[in-house]
Structure 1
Amino acid sequence: MKINEQLVLVTGGSRGLGAAIARSFVREGAQVIINYYQSKERAEKLAEELGPRALALQGDIRSKEDMENLFRKAEEHFGKSVTTIIHNALIDFQFDSDNKKDAFTIEWEDVKKQLEGSVRGALNIIQAGLEKMKASKFGRIITIGTNLFQNPVVSYHDYTTAKAALLALTRNMAQELGPYNITVNMVSGGLLKTTDASRATSDEVFKLIEATTPLRRVTSPEELADAVLFFASPWSRAVTGQNLVVDGGLVMD
Structure 2
Amino acid sequence: MILKDKIMLVTGASRGIGAAIAKKAASEGAFVMVNYLKNNQLADQVVSEIEANGGQAAAIQADVRDVEQVGNMMNQIVDSFGGIDVVVNNALHHFTFNPKTRKTAWELEWKDYDQQIAGSLQGAFQICKAAMPIMKHHMSGRIINIASNLIDFPVVPYHDYSTAKMALLGYTRNLAKELGSFGITVNAVSPGLTNLTDSSSETKEDVREMIIGLTPMHRLAMPEDIAGAVLFLASDWASFITGQCINVDGGLVMN
- Please name the residue that 1:183 is paired with: 185
- Please name the residue that 1:5 is paired with: 5
CA deviation profile, 1:10-54 (whole Å, cap 9, x unmatched): 000000000000011001010000100011110011112212610
Task: Give the SS at the match of 2:94.
Answer: coil
- How do 1:167-246 residues align onto structure 2 when only pairs under 5 Å count? 167-246=169-248
Letter matched to residue 141 of structure 2: G
- Please name the residue that 2:138 is paired with: 136
- Percent identical among aligned pairs is 44
- Please name the residue that 2:75 is paired with: 72
Letter matched to residue 113 of structure 1: Q
Question: Does the 8 A contact of 2:2 with 2:28 survive in 1?
Answer: no
Partners of 1:96 and 1:242 lie apart in 2 by 29
Question: Any unmatched runs of 5+ in structure 2?
Answer: none
- Please name the residue that 1:116 is paired with: 118
TM-score (norm 1): 0.97
- How do 1:31-110 residues align onto structure 2 when only pairs under 5 Å count? 31-51=31-51, 53-77=56-80, 79-110=81-112
Letter matched to residue 142 of structure 2: R
Task: Give the SS at the match of 2:97.
Answer: coil
Q: How large is the RMSD of aligned CA atoms in angstroms?
A: 1.2
CA deviation profile, 1:167-220 (whole Å, cap 9, x unmatched): 000000000000000000000011001201110111121111211110011111
TM-score (norm 2): 0.96
**Equivalent pairs, count:** 252
Question: Does the 8 A contact of 2:2 with 2:29 survive in 1?
Answer: no
- Please name the residue that 2:20 is paired with: 20
Letter matched to residue 188 of structure 1: S
Task: Give the SS at the match of 1:106.
Answer: coil
Q: How much has 1:2 moved relative to structure 2? A: 5.0
Partners of 1:125 and 1:103 lie apart in 2 by 30
CA deviation profile, 1:113-162 (whole Å, cap 9, x unmatched): 01111111111000111111111111000000111111111110110000
CA deviation profile, 1:44-67 (whole Å, cap 9, x unmatched): 111122126101011001011111
Question: Any unmatched runs of 5+ in structure 1?
Answer: none
Letter matched to residue 233 of structure 2: F
Letter matched to residue 101 of structure 1: K
Task: Give the SS at the match of 2:253.
Answer: coil
Partners of 2:197 and 2:146 lie apart in 1 by 14
Is residue 157 of structure 2 the alignment partner of residue 155 of structure 1? yes
